[in-house]
Amino acid sequence: MAKEQTALQERAKRARRIVKNPGQFKVCMGCDSIVASKVNICPNCHSYRFETGEAEVVAQAKALSTREQNSVVAEDLF
């Protein structure tokens, strides 16, 4: 339980940073991950299509901050 809580707190912390600076991020249309705006290919799913609207980035950050991670990321593959 404590590990779950720590993970959610970390996600909330990252979400606050994203919400404060949504122009520095974009949402992957392949896997719904939030990535830096300078990224051309999603590191998680290798998609190259992104939603760059600040309102969409903020909405996705808020949604992701309230639930556990359920997507596979690069670190999971090693």
- State the pTM of this model: 0.79
Residue with tokens 């690069």: 74
Which two three-digit tokens encode residue 75? 């670190």
Report the amino acid identity of residue 42: C
Which two three-digit tokens encode residue 59? 């909405």
- Residue 28, strand partner residues: 50
Question: Contact 58/22 with Cβ under 8 angstroms?
Answer: yes
Strands of 25-28's sheet in order across? 34-36, 25-28, 50-51
Q: Which tens digit of pLDDT belongs to each residue from 15-58?
A: 999 999 999 999 999 999 999 999 999 998 999 999 999 999 99
Domain spans, the chain: 2-67
